[in-house]
Amino acid sequence: MLGSVQNITISNTGDVYRAICKVGGKLGNIYDGFEMPEDTIMCTKPSCVCAADVQLTKALPKHVDKVRIGHESRHSKKAIDDELESLLKDFKDEK
């Protein structure tokens, strides 16, 4: 199944991942920087065991064109990046 970036997970050390299960690897770190990927990935897990990851959109490769995610979303990448940057700034200012 394919998965996009609909949420991120930040570990206690600041490492950023696409999901709780960490499929797709580390995106970066909130202290060193990271970029939100626009591409979908193939999930390598046999099933979702985390309630947060279960809610993420998934589709078989032959049906991925039917899913409204990524650039077709009502939220632009720039708007999401701007909001994320603002949240990270607030987080760093609190420390």
Domain ranges of the chain: 2-94
Question: What integer is the mean pLDDT of 14-25?
Answer: 90
Q: 46 pLDDT exceeds 90?
A: no
DSSP 73: S
Give 41's contacts (C-beta < 8 A, 6+ positions apart): 2, 3, 4, 18, 23, 24
Q: 94 pLDDT exceeds 90?
A: no
Lowest mean pLDDT of 19-23, 67-71, 89-93, name the range.
67-71
- Kindly state the tokens that stand for 44: 């390598």
74 versus 9: the higher-pLDDT residue is 9
pTM of the complete model: 0.61
- Calculate the alpha carbon distances from 30 to 22, 54, 70, 87 in Å: 16, 24, 22, 11
Q: 70 pLDDT exceeds 70?
A: no
